[in-house]
């Protein structure tokens, strides 16, 4: 393996990063790596608290992929042990821990989706339950002695909860220590995390020093702002773009990104070459509308391929620009004489994930039948021979309802 020059590596590594602590140490590590022709160990720990990944998660996974492409050893740690503690980062209350079975189920889905970004053939996959689960109570006491309560309370989310007289459980203090112990066990050279993980990453650095190891460099990536343009991307805020979403939904959601975030998305979530970014920035400033369509196409192409991206463009032009029913709209057949609530029909189509979501869509005017907006959640249809209706749910879901 031959490594490209350090300045070229740093140009790629700096792309989109918020902070590298300390950057000069990373440069020295890269110089040594190149001289000895030995890859650095790049670590990312993830607690699979939820099974579905969105573009917000992809920011840090893409940085991992860049390290892979540079020839370094990338280690993805599934937090089989730490997920059962519950990361207190950003929490104003104790996060409920997960069971071992929940962690395993979520981890399988997480890994499957992460591999759409990472190079699976160059990925070292491990689980911190393998070493943290073997520690006895004395080991935990010894580990706890390496960090003071005063240092722990410096942490922003702990200090706020302490000042507000909100409870902090003792086990939450152990979380940064457990994550830091991962770095000691793996002898990591670099650990990646979001800006909200800075404290945890620095604890790992401190524990490595205590163990006599060369401390890791901490690389922080930004938290991606969601499609609403204000809050970080999250399923809870419904401002997310899932990496396994259907191409048409992915394309449409990408077009809802505010103009001032187009460049940020190009930089953080796409695979366009770093050298192309200046020209893209100019296009965004002069023609944001088409730059956003290019971005949407790029995102769909990355996860679904070129043909699916082209089909998503056609679907958008038909349904949104020309107000047409798409050629590939699915058909659903119902018994003649059968009376059904529209709510149940939509559930059968799978256009929404639950009756609750369907009710919200109807209330917000997001459901139409033959271009007539339906606002009554109890609206029902009786199918007569030859009946055919065009159903539209949201901006992108069309279906043809027919009587058998």
Q: pLDDT tens digit string along 89-146?
A: 766 555 566 777 887 888 888 888 899 999 999 999 999 999 999 999 999 999 999 9
* Whether the domain at 247-321 and the domain at 331-403 fall into the same CATH topology: no
Whether omega for the bond prior to residue 227 falls within 30 degrees of 0, making it cis, is no
Predicted pLDDT at 92:
53
Q: Which residues contact 53 (CB under 8 A, 6 or more apart)?
A: 61, 110, 113, 114, 242, 243, 244
The verdict on whether residue 235 carries a ligand-binding annotation is yes
Instruction: Give the pLDDT confidence score for residue 94 in this predicted structure.
Output: 57
pLDDT at 278: 96
Q: Which fold has domain 6-221?
A: Rossmann fold (3.40.50)
Predicted local confidence at residue 116, as pLDDT: 92
pLDDT of 93: 56
Q: Please tell me the predicted confidence (pLDDT) of residue 250.
A: 95
Q: Give me the helices (H) in 225-261, please.
A: 247-254
* pLDDT value for 236: 79
Q: What is the CATH number of domain 331-403?
A: 3.10.290.10
> How would you list the strands of the sheet with 372-373, edge to edge?
331-334, 397-403, 388-393, 367-369, 372-373
- Class of CATH domain 247-321: mainly alpha
The domain limits of the chain are: 6-221, 247-321, 331-403
Please tell me the predicted confidence (pLDDT) of residue 320. 83
* The model's pTM: 0.82
Stretches where the chain sits below pLDDT 50 are none
């Amino acid at each position: 393996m031959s490594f490209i020059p350090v300045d070229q590596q740093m140009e790629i590594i700096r792309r989109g990063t918020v902070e590298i602590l300390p950057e000069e140490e990373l440069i020295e590590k890269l110089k040594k790596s190149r001289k000895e022709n030995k890859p650095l160990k790049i670590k990312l720990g993830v607690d699979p608290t939820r099974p579905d990944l969105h573009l917000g998660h992809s920011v840090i996974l893409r940085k991992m992929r860049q390290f892979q492409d540079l020839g370094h050893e990338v280690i993805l740690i599934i937090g089989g042990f730490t997920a059962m503690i519950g990361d207190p980062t950003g929490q104003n209350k104790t996060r409920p821990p997960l069971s071992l079975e929940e962690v395993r189920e979520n981890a399988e889905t997480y890994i499957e989706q992460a591999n759409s970004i990472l190079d699976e053939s160059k990925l070292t996959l491990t689980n911190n339950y393998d070493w943290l689960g073997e520690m006895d109570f004395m080991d935990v006491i010894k580990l706890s002695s390496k960090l003071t309560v005063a240092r722990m309370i410096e942490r922003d989310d702990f200090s706020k909860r302490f000042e507000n007289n909100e409870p902090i459980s003792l086990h939450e203090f152990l979380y940064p220590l457990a994550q830091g112990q991962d770095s000691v066990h793996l002898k990591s050279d670099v650990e990646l995390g979001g800006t909200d993980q800075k404290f945890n990453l620095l604890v790992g650095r401190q524990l490595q020093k205590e163990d006599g190891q060369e401390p890791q460099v901490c690389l922080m990536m930004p938290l991606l702002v969601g499609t609403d343009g204000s809050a970080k991307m999250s399923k809870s805020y419904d401002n997310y773009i899932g990496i396994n979403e259907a191409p048409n939904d992915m394309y449409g959601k990408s077009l809802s990104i505010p103009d001032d975030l187009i460049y940020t998305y190009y930089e953080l979530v796409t695979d366009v070459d770093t050298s192309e970014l200046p020209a893209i920035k100019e296009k965004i400033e002069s023609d944001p509308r088409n730059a956003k369509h290019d971005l949407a196409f790029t995102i769909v192409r990355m996860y679904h391929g070129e043909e699916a991206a082209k089909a998503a463009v056609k679907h958008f032009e038909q349904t949104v620009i020309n107000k047409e029913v798409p050629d590939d709209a699915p058909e659903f057949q119902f018994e003649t004489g059968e009376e059904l609530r529209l709510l149940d029909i939509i559930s059968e189509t799978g256009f929404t994930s639950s009756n609750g979501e369907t009710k919200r869509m109807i209330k917000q005017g997001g459901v139409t039948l033959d271009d007539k907006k339906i606002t009554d959640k109890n609206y029902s249809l009786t199918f007569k021979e030859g009946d055919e209706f065009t159903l539209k749910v949201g901006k992108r879901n069309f279906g043809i309802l027919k009587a058998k």
